[in-house]
Every structure is written in structure tokens, then in C-alpha cells.
């Protein structure tokens, strides 16, 4: 679950980065931090596969 506010434009750019349409460097500079936050949250929320072997 995303627990921070972000613009729709940031979400669109993040989705575009996730599907390979753009790289983070191609995102406008003023949106890069928000897009990175969205991508970080998406990465954290999808890593619930139950694999605890990497945790120490």
C-alpha cells in the first residue's frame, strides 16, 4: 500500500519506467524524486513472496 501522496503524472511516469518505456533519467528532473518514491514503494509491496532466506 502506498502511504504517501504523489501526483498522477508521477504515477504515469513510474508505470512507464516499470514497463520499460522510459528510464529514470528520461523522467523530468522535477518529478524524479517522486517517481523514485513510487517505484520504491512498488518494489517493496511486490516483495512479499515469502522468501525469508535473505533476511538476517
What digits encode the pLDDT tens for the residues 1-56? 556 688 899 999 999 999 999 999 999 999 999 999 999 877 776 655 555 545 54
Residue with cell 518529478: 31
Separation CA 20–CA 29 (nearest Å): 18
pLDDT at 17: 96
Domain hosting 16: range is: 8-41
Residue 47 domain-assigned (yes or no):
no
Residue 3 domain-assigned (yes or no):
no
Residue 28 domain-assigned (yes or no):
yes
Separation CA 27–CA 33 (nearest Å): 10
pLDDT at 35: 94
Residue 48 domain-assigned (yes or no):
no
C-alpha cell read off for 18: 516499470
Domain count across the chain: 1
**CA 34 → CA 17, 24, 44, 50, 51, distances in Å?**
13, 11, 15, 28, 28
Amino acid at each position: 500500500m502506498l502511504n504517501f501522496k504523489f501526483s498522477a503524472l508521477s504515477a504515469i511516469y513510474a508505470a512507464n519506467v516499470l514497463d520499460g518505456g522510459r528510464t529514470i533519467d528520461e523522467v523530468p528532473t522535477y518529478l524524479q524524486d517522486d517517481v523514485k518514491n513510487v517505484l520504491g514503494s512498488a518494489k517493496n509491496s511486490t516483495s512479499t513472496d515469502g522468501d525469508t532466506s535473505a533476511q538476517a
